[in-house]
Amino acid sequence: MTTSLSERLSAELSGLRDSGLLIKPRVLDGANRARMQVDGREVVNLASNNYLGFADHPRLKEKAAAYLREWGIGAGAVRTIAGTMRIHEALEEQLAAFKHTGSALVLHSGFTTNQGVLGALLKEGDLVVSDALNHASIIDGLRLTKATKKVYKHADAHDLERLLKENETDGLKLVVTDGVFSMDGDLAPLDKLIEVARKYGAVTYVDDAHGSGVMGKDGRGTVHHFGFENADDVIQVGTLSKAWGGVGGYAAGHGDLRELLINRARPYLFSTAQPPAVVGGLVAAIEEVQRDPTLMRRLWDNTLYFKAELAGLGFDTMGSVTPITPVLFGEPETAFEASRMLFEEGVFAVGLGFPTVPRGSARIRNIVTAEHTRDDLDQALAAYEKVGRKLKVAGV
- 16 contacts 355 by C-beta, under 8 angstroms: no
- 50 contacts 32 by C-beta, under 8 angstroms: yes
Reply yes or no on whether 4 is catalytic: no
* β-bridge mates for residue 150, sequence order: 129
Encoded amino acid at 246, one letter? G
Reply yes or no on whether 210 is catalytic: yes
* β-bridge mates for residue 128, sequence order: 149, 174
From 48, 103, 130, 182, active-site residue:
182
Phi-psi label, residue 133: left if phi above 0, alpha if psi -120 to 50, beta otherwise: alpha
- 203 contacts 173 by C-beta, under 8 angstroms: yes
Encoded amino acid at 375, one letter? D
CB atoms within 10 A of CB 3: 8
Distance CA 167, CA 187 (A): 26
- Which residue blocks in the chain are alpha helix, DSSP H? 5-18, 58-71, 86-99, 110-121, 136-143, 157-166, 190-199, 222-225, 257-264, 266-269, 276-291, 294-313, 332-344, 374-391
Give the H/E segment covering residue 150.
Answer: strand 148-152
Distance CA 154, CA 132 (A): 5
Phi-psi label, residue 330: left if phi above 0, alpha if psi -120 to 50, beta otherwise: left
Distance CA 19, CA 179 (A): 32
From 57, 135, 210, 224, active-site residue:
210
Reply yes or no on whether 182 is catalytic: yes
From 225, 242, 307, 372, active-site residue:
242
Q: Which residues are catalytic?
A: 182, 210, 242
